[in-house]
Amino acid sequence: MDGNELYINGPQRMHGELLIQGSKNAALPILAAAVLGTGIFILHHCPRISDVEHMLEMLEDAGCRVKWEGHMLIVDTRYLDNYQVNGNGAGKMRSTVTLLGSILGRMHRVAIPYPGGCTIGKRPIDLHLKGLEQLGAVFEHQEHALVGSAQRLHGAEVYLDFPSVGATENILLASVLADGMTTIHGAAMEPEIVELASFLRKMGAKVRGDGTPVILIEGVKTLHAAEYIIPSDRIVAGTYLFGAMMTKGEARLLHVPMAHLGNIPKLLQQMGALVETEEDCIYVNMKRQCSSLPYVVTAPFPGFPTDLQSALVAALSTASGMSFIEEKIFEARFQIVPELQKMGASIASEESFALIDGNARLRGARVEAKELRGGAALIMAALAAEGETCIYGMEYVRRGYEDINGDLKKLGIVI
């Protein structure tokens, strides 16, 4: 067995309590934001995942110094002097693109490799570039790199055609040091945007309206270092909640900001679970087979997150009756379907929807994680399946889950 395979004998019932790791989708833009200030930053509860390691490689490449102490991350940006990001991780992950706005904001020039990451569709960055161009940036596409420059960035009225999280983050990062006022219309409202804005405010930025569709940024001259606690990862929490549903289990997840879960607790109740919530903790207990859901559509926050769609598809494959899911965010999100079919699931899918005929008795099989969230969902399916499942492609899962084996052990699972 190599480190990229995981073997699970099922069925197993999830039961236990778990402290949820720091959020990947909050940590990455916050690390990009640190580039804008000069000094020593301290980030607590930072997830030790491969995407964060890749981001740190790129920051080191730019001249930053980084050091881990447990889950505390110290980033010294005083020696940042390189606007060209290479780092091994640069082409491997999507969030490389978040450095566009922050390096431009600090150095007025930037060169990054084209972003990589998961294979869940086109995910064009034209919204990012269009927004940054309105602030005064000019981009040229070279063979292996995207190169941008701006003699000076200035405020602008930016209208986003779609509430893209990445584009909102990039425009926010580029505008905090720009001259004058910037207004982002049609901004993403995800919790990670609110976390980024509150981190920038700790650095001395003037940002208001985050968490609504209109964000106002008044440019300042300089930003300073800050200390911050990364919130827990709502997608990791959601993964384990669906795992508890599929295995007729119970789980208490601690240190989960409930406001970040949106409508998920309500959805779990619709599927038949007992759900109890406190301000930063959720308990779910499932005593019977999941109920099907006639129609679920993925949507920007506070709608159902596309990042949990694979886990929901897996759970509904074991539910009673027919369910229908429509995917409106990424066009290649159903890569998990053929893998679940190998395990006995009855699912028909087209590019943007899946029809799931529940009541499947999942069987162990050799399946492949083709992207981060689908890989985690296959692990949850393996818990509910009869016999041994081998999941290969675990390197994708490590992009967002710090120690999924350790988490599952704490939740009563034998791996």
- Give 139's strand partners: 148
pLDDT for res 2: 63
- Indicate the DSSP class of residue 373: H
Backbone angles phi, psi at 360, to 5 degrees: -70, 140
Average pLDDT of the segment spanning 381-398: 97
Average pLDDT of the segment spanning 109-113: 91
Confidence at 88, pLDDT banded by 50, 70, 90: low
pLDDT at 119 over 60: no
Determine whether 64 is an active site residue: no
Backbone angles phi, psi at 134, to 5 degrees: -65, -20
Average pLDDT of the segment spanning 95-115: 90
pLDDT for res 90: 58
Q: 18-32, 108-122, 155-169, 372-386: lowest mean pLDDT where? A: 108-122
Alpha helices in 149-220 (DSSP H): 165-175, 191-202
Confidence at 141, pLDDT banded by 50, 70, 90: confident
- In 3D space, the residue among 166, 116, 112, 171 whose CA is nearest the CA of residue 142 turns out to be 112
pLDDT for res 116: 60
pLDDT at 211 over 90: yes
pLDDT for res 87: 60
pLDDT in tens, 14-32: 999 999 999 999 999 999 9
Share of the chain above pLDDT 90, in %: 88
Average pLDDT of the segment spanning 272-279: 96
Confidence at 122, pLDDT banded by 50, 70, 90: low
- Indicate the DSSP class of residue 150: -
pLDDT at 178 over 80: yes
pLDDT for res 91: 58
Q: Is 79 helix (H, G, I), strand (E, B) or coil?
A: coil
pLDDT at 123 over 60: no
Confidence at 121, pLDDT banded by 50, 70, 90: very low
Q: Which residues contact 131 (CB under 8 A, 6 or more apart)?
A: 158, 160, 167, 170, 171, 184
Mean per-residue pLDDT over the chain, rounded: 94
pLDDT in tens, 293-304: 999 999 999 999
pLDDT for res 120: 39
* Whole-angstrom distance, CA of residue 124 vs CA of residue 8: 36
Question: With contact defined as beta carbons under 8 Å apart, do 298 and 305 qualify?
Answer: yes
Share of the chain above pLDDT 70, in %: 95
pLDDT in tens, 313-347: 999 999 999 999 999 987 667 899 999 999 999 99
Average pLDDT of the segment spanning 237-250: 98
Cβ count near 331 (within 10 Å): 13
pLDDT, greater one: 108 or 115: 108
Long-range CB contacts for residues 208-213, cutoff 8 Å, separation at least 24: 212/187, 213/163, 213/185, 213/186, 213/187, 213/189
Sheet holding 250-254, edge to edge: 15-19, 250-254, 281-285, 274-278
pLDDT for res 142: 85
Q: 124-128, 240-244, 383-387, 399-403: lowest mean pLDDT where? A: 124-128
Average pLDDT of the segment spanning 198-216: 98
Confidence at 97, pLDDT banded by 50, 70, 90: confident
pLDDT at 411 over 90: yes
pLDDT at 292 over 60: yes
Instruction: Tell me which of 118, 281, 290, 390 is the catalytic residue.
Output: 118
366-368 vs 387-392, strand pairing mode = parallel
Average pLDDT of the segment spanning 363-377: 96
Average pLDDT of the segment spanning 396-408: 96
pLDDT for res 85: 86
pLDDT at 378 over 80: yes
pLDDT at 368 over 60: yes
Please tell me which of 49-63, 95-109, 208-222 the model is most confident about, judged by mean pLDDT.
Answer: 208-222
* Whole-angstrom distance, CA of residue 136 vs CA of residue 123: 23
Question: With contact defined as beta carbons under 8 Å apart, do 256 and 20 qualify?
Answer: yes
